[in-house]
Structure 1
Amino acid sequence: MIWSICWTILARPFPKSTFMLWKRFLLKAFGAKIAKTAYVYSSAKIFMPWNLEMKDHACLASGVDCYNAAPIIIGVDATVSQRAYLCTASHNISSSRHEQIEKPIIIKDRAWVAAEAFVGPGVTIGESAVIGARAAVFKDVEPWTVVGGNPAQFIKKRIIKE
């Protein structure tokens, strides 16, 4: 609760492109592992900063909901676009107690999770993979692939043309 109050009062009021050093400081003060060049928009929601690791030039864009009851690792140059939902927890539907279960999410280097996509517990997004807008991802995504839909399906291989 202290974390939520601190982020709401000390980070959210600032425009997205200002006070980045301050926002990284706040996240680190609550245990996040954030590279000096990582970028977190003020409107991003981070449930447990101590379960967040962001590498160089990683980005959590505006409105991203980072429900990290388990660790979330975002690789170098990886982007999570606006209003995406990263969810590391669910419930055991095979149990009468319906207890919470948690699994980490790993987003590898140069991957892109597009706007309003959902990434579920235990998913690894491969290097340079693209998750299409509003896709729902429940299984690992191979490197250099593009997926989309609900549930996310392979669309094509990603090829960079310079």
Structure 2
Amino acid sequence: MARDLPAFTLAGYDKGRGFLTQALWFAVMNTVFMAWFCPARLRVALLRAFGAKIGEGVFIRHKVRILWPWKLSIGDHSWIGEGAWLLNLEPVAIGSHVCISQEAMLCTGSHDHRAADFRYRNAPIVVEDGAWVAVRATVLAGVTVGRHAVAGAGAVVHRDLPELTLQTVDGGRRPVEEPK
């Protein structure tokens, strides 16, 4: 099968807001939201203004990229580390007391490699309460990271990670103790 990239369309993909809202978000994200001088409280306020559902005590560092705030929910007292990228073409739900570490990526979008037109194959991501997505770990479309699970540094999580499980960079999985 030959790849036919000009045949690619956005069929079936809903960005969730009109062009003007998208453009305004990109302007705000790239000039204020990601800047080192923007206070964390203002980042949370900006996300809420663009439709994100954000709990209390959420801390978001600078250089964080979020594609569509209106497709994001974060529970109470969660942290998003410097340089994290939430590529949320579909909804991303982050629970309470979750840590998304530096340069981690949550990617809800992909392409169907079996289709000549390379159509989207997107799916939401859920990160449950108490989970930790460590530095430079990647969570892919359709995955649920279970309660108190750990996606270890550099890990690529392509299938559900059960609660109280650690996935390492080599794909190995082992149980972890529940935090006290």
The TM-score with structure 1 as length reference comes to 0.91
Larger radius of gyration: 2
> Any runs of at least 4 consecutive aligned residues in structure 1 with deviations exceeding 4 A, and if so which?
none
Query: 1:43 Cα deviation (Å)?
Result: 1.0
1:84 aligns with 2:104: yes
Counterpart for residue 118 of structure 1: 138
Paired residues, number? 158
Partner Cα distance (1:11, 1:88) in 2: 21
> RMSD over aligned Cα, in angstroms?
1.5
Q: How many Å separate the matches in 2 of 1:161 and 1:113? A: 15
Structure 2 segments unaligned to the other structure (5+ residues): 1-22
- Within the candidate set 44, 48, 54, 1:28 is matched to 48
1:69 pairs with 2:89 = yes
List gaps (5 residues or longer) in structure 1: none
Name the structure 1 match of 2:77: 57
Secondary structure at 1:102 match in 2: coil
Partners in 2 of 1:5 and 1:46 — Cα distance? 12
Q: TM-score, normalised by structure 2?
A: 0.82
1:80-128 alpha-carbon deviations (Å, 9 max, x no partner): 1000111000001221211112100100000000000011000000000
How far has the Cα of 1:9 moved from its partner?
1.8
Give yes or no for contact 2:36–2:63 (8 Å, CA) kept in 1: no
Matches within 5 A, 1:1-162: 1-15=23-37, 19-150=39-170, 152-154=171-173, 156-160=174-178
Bigger share in strand: 1
